[in-house]
Chain A
Amino acid sequence: MEGQKSRAKLIASGLVPFSFLILMLVFILSSGSSLINFGIPLPELTIEKINFVKSEILVTVRNTGPVPVDVAVADVNDRIQPAAIEPDKHLERFETAVVKIPFSWNKGEPYKIGLTTQEGVRFEKSIEAAAPALEPNSDTMGLLLLIGTYVGVIPILIGLMWLPFIKKISNQKYVFFLALTVGLLLFLGIDAIVEALEVSSENLAGVFHGPLLIATVVLISLFGLYYAGEKLTKKSSLTKLANPYSVALMVSIGIGLHNLGEGLAIGAAIGLGQVALSTFLIIGFALHNTTEGIAIAAPVAKEKTFVRKIIGLGLIAGVPAIFGTWVGGFAYSPFTSIVFLSIGAGAIFQVVVVISKWLREYDKSFTSTPVVAGIAIGMLIMYLTGMLV
């Protein structure tokens, strides 16, 4: 009886602030219209994607402002063009529509696409060079699969071939390789965040608050995976150190998410017709990703080698690159790229935390030569191979 009463009190005390919050909102929305109508809400449209198909330009637009918007006019290079808009021209907040402009565009030429709202405000997006959009068929799917394999799968498997070498070296040198892994991963995590920020500033509407979205997703991913990882290792191992294979699995998952993000970038570059750029991307990523193989190999080097498990780990890390190129090439969305890149960054930082715990077993203060040199050299390797991208 007594317990029930106090429980009810507890729930009530939790609900009271909520009810006041609701009361305040009701008050503002009903009577405080002068407060709501203060200032002038500015309409805003964001052009998220422009696809060049056969004698037609497809423009994906989103209402990213505080008020509903009616699209009234479409233009190409600031010249009014008749167009169709689907599903309709009225866009509620966050709603998107596709504007179809019949236009015989020229390959390789820059274009500016503009949309004007009923208030007469024009929003514009530039395309550096028009190129036909990738159509999802077996040819292009196959091409992207091949690229994803070259970028993600093969380099990682090559990197894993260092495993026998790492196995045979002394403990001190092994610490160096673990530290090297930390360096590589730190770089990759920072790289993913930088890339997400880039996508956000170029293609994401201000209403999504790109940098905060990235921070939120990175931290949720980091703590979420850390939490999951702790549960996983506690179950699988009785030693106070985490099970090397589960750590390697976490490394693989983190790198896999990261490669998904990279695949998205490559697919999008091909989809947007930036072909020269994507050739460089592919070569750069291939070299770059070989080092990711080392990062997976290092945690399990002192364990018994299960070849199948090792290959499995490599595939977990590499195959997402293929899916990334497909999604990026056929259905690019800046929002999803940012989310994937951020999840990848969080996952990588989580692995950094776990491996750092290992390193502390060898070197409490992170001041020994192999640890410091490993981290520094890892980051340097990444920076130098990253210049190829």
Chain B
Amino acid sequence: MLFVLAVTAILTTFYFAYPNSSNAKSEEKTFLSHNGAVLTTTGDILDPVYSAQTLKFDPDKYLREFNYGRVSKLPDGTTLREFTIIAEDDKLMEISPGVFYNVWTFNGTVPGPTIRATEGDLVRIHFINNGTRSHTMHFHGIHAAEMDGVFEPVGAKGGQFTYEWIAGPVGVHPYHCHVMPLEEHIIHGLYGVYIVDPKEGRPPADEMVMVLNGFDTDFDAENNFYAVNTIPFYYQHHPIQIDTNQLIRVYVVNMVEFDPINNFHLHGNLYHYYPTGTSTVPSTYTDMITLSQTERGIMEFNYTYPGKYLFHAHKVEFSEKGWTGLFLVKDKEKKS
């Protein structure tokens, strides 16, 4: 009896001390990681590499998707743009490979849809709250006080509200939920981009939207992941393809919370920067700008030489946690 007890105790001790010596897999595989390291293992790979199939949110699609709404003309000739936006707050989304986070969404994605109108249009947003708590939509821009989405909380489970205003001023603006506690509603993903084009339009360009965001998955008031358009390291693995000598226009909006600043550095090039996009004259020609919360602007540039160019936060902590990407510049002349 004593002997059996002693043997059991010793075996248990060894199980706790060295438990996994027996179940190792034998097959080795080699893997090239996102930063060029070579990994050889019989186990699993931990690397934030996204394959397109597993994505519920497609940053490539989001990048160049602009929503102009259901367009109709009013009797006085004004263009009416109507949008339907549905808020939800019960979704679990894989925001980095293997990491699941409860996102709160406008129309099912973080960021919400990019809403685009021309200055002077009548914008009408049919807002439906299918969430479990109150939400609103608060647009940066010029509108009536009761359209501000602050003092008009829209009730949970089917509450509705119609926001309406004349689009303006020209530029790129964020929109987000403005229900208290505000930080909680923003960091869960209730934000998006709203672009107002000048009446005369801007020069033709390859246009894209980049929302700089982050996720605090362990709720310690510090971001665990940073990204451009939600998925860490996405454009590092799926470079954004552009042509040489093609005007590129990027609408950049910084939605990162907790960290006071974010920034945007472009490799092998400089860009003309239009803060908030409200002026047609660039404020600076640089490869580095700093953005505080909801600070935004328009960047314009074109590449002369083909190849791969990095763009990333020069606050390197952010880039090493996912806020980094690549432009793959192709030679337009050779291609055609």
Contact = CB atoms under 8 A, between A and B. Distances in A.
B224 A82 contact: no
A97 B45 CA distance: 13
Interface stretch (B32-40, B160-168, B186-194): B32-40
Contacts of A95: 19-20
A88 B29 CA distance: 13
A73 B233 CA distance: 13
B47 interface: yes
Interface string A41-74: 0000000000000000000000000000011111
Nearest to A340: B13
Contacts of A39: none
Q: Which of A89, A94, A118 has the most CB of B within 10 A?
A: A118
B46 A73 contact: yes
Contacts of B99: 72-73, 116-120
Contact of A87 (B23, B35, B38, B217): B23
B151 interface: no
13 contacts: A71-B98, A72-B98, A73-B98, A78-B321, A80-B320, A84-B44, A85-B45, A86-B43, A96-B19, A116-B218, A119-B99, A120-B217, A335-B17
Contacts of A82: 33-35, 37, 39, 45-48
Interface residues of A, number: 38
Interface of B: 13, 16-20, 23-25, 31, 33-35, 37-48, 95-101, 215, 217-218, 224-225, 232-233, 317, 320-322
Interface string A108-121: 00000000111111
A84 B13 contact: no
B46 A87 contact: no
A73 B40 CA distance: 17
Contacts of A73: 46, 48, 96, 98-99
B215 A85 contact: no
A125 interface: no
A217 to B, nearest CB: 9
Interface string A300-343: 00000000000000000000000000000001010110010000
Contacts of A119: 99-100, 217
Contacts of B41: 84-86, 100
A124 to B, nearest CB: 11
Contacts of B317: 78-79
A96 B41 CA distance: 16
Q: Which of B43, B97, B233 has the most CB of A within 10 A?
A: B43
Contact of A74 (B46, B97, B101, B217): B46
A22 B101 CA distance: 38
Closest 9 CB pairs of A and B: A120-B217, A82-B33, A86-B43, A72-B98, A84-B41, A82-B47, A79-B320, A102-B37, A89-B44
Nearest to B97: A72
Contacts of A87: 20, 23-25, 42-43
A85 B96 contact: no
Given A72-B99, A120-B100, A85 B43 contact: yes
Interface in A115-146: 116-122
Contact of A121 (B34, B39, B97, B218): B218
Nearest to A55: B37
Nearest to B32: A82
A121 B41 CA distance: 25
Contacts of B17: 333, 335-336
A99 interface: yes
B16 A335 contact: yes
Nearest to B40: A84
Contacts of A339: 13
A16 B247 CA distance: 84
Contact of A122 (B16, B38, B224, B320): B224
B229 to A, nearest CB: 17
Nearest to B45: A84
Given A72-B97, A85-B44, A333-B18, 12 more contacts: A71-B98, A72-B96, A82-B39, A82-B48, A85-B46, A87-B23, A87-B24, A94-B16, A102-B39, A120-B218, A333-B17, A339-B13
